[in-house]
Amino acid sequence: MSDLLDVDSGADGAGGGSTGRADSAPTGADRPVAETDGSDGPDGSDGSDDLERRLAYEFADRDLLTRALSHRSWCAEQSGRLSNERLEFLGDAVLGLVVAEHTYRTFPDRAEGTLAKVRASVVNAHVLAEVAAEIELGDRLRLGKGEDLSGGRTKESILADALEAVIGAVYLDGGFEPARDLILGLLVDRIAEAVRDPGESDHKSRLQELTVHQGRGVPEYQVSGKGPDHARRYVATVYVAGQRLGTGEGRSKKDAEQAAAHAAHAALGDERGGWDA
């Protein structure tokens, strides 16, 4: 598996991390120019050491980490700075592969449909944002002034994208093994929980069962897209009996609807004072 993905960093990074490094890196004229941003973090300090401790990974090329933390709103206010969007694209692919490989090898008796549900339950914006918040990734993000003032450091989509970008940066810096260690270190408990009850990830079905049981009828979803084609995101709003119950965001219409259903189910639980009440 590592032979499949352990390629050199190409134009997106060079050098290696603490373990599992690619065998070679570009040198001389083929070696990419480091992309430094020349600025400190939002609190005036770099903060790389603290974040690396939380990631349990030390970067050889911290420029990769810097870029992983650079949101496009910040780059728009700078001159010639690259955002984390390409690293996010790479990290999303590495994340999906690691979770798929782990579930395939760890749970050989589970059918493909179950494994797909497990992967969907952990590889989504809601879960990734939770994990990013747990490691305090939002504190280290480089955001534009407007995005920062509007609460961007706690915004689900920004946190999820940044975590994927960090995964991509670790992969380029150290190779597949460190990236897999990082991902499983952050998600292995959630994966195990999802395997125990894969149906928990189908929030739309759970919401419909609840609303029909309560006599409220079937949920209806309204979905809209935003952003350029290469970074399209969708926002879904779910209504039950004409009442707006939840909103969610995702990279696909399906993910957005699932996120909206999850929010709506939680809101109905709050109305009842919690499901155990």
Active site residues per annotation = 92, 164
Angle between the 85-106 and 156-174 helix axes, to the nearest 10 degrees? 80
Amino acid at 214: Q
Using CA atoms, how far residue 104 sits from 32, 68, 246, 251, in Å, is 36, 29, 33, 24
Using CA atoms, how far residue 74 sits from 129, 233, 249, in Å, is 19, 19, 22
| Helix, strand and coil in the chain, % to nearest 5 | 60, 10, 35
- In 79-226, the DSSP E strands lie at 220-226
Amino acid at 34: A
Which has the closest alpha carbon to 242: 271, 265, 219, 267? 219
Spatial CB neighbours of 26, under 8 Å, sequence gap ≥ 6: 8, 9, 10, 14, 32
Instruction: Assess contact for 200 and 185: CB atoms under 8 A.
Output: no
The DSSP secondary-structure symbol of 230 reads G
Which has the closest alpha carbon to 224: 202, 250, 261, 258? 250
Residue appearing with tokens 């940066």: 169
Spatial CB neighbours of 266, under 8 Å, sequence gap ≥ 6: 246
Token digits for 4?
């499949």
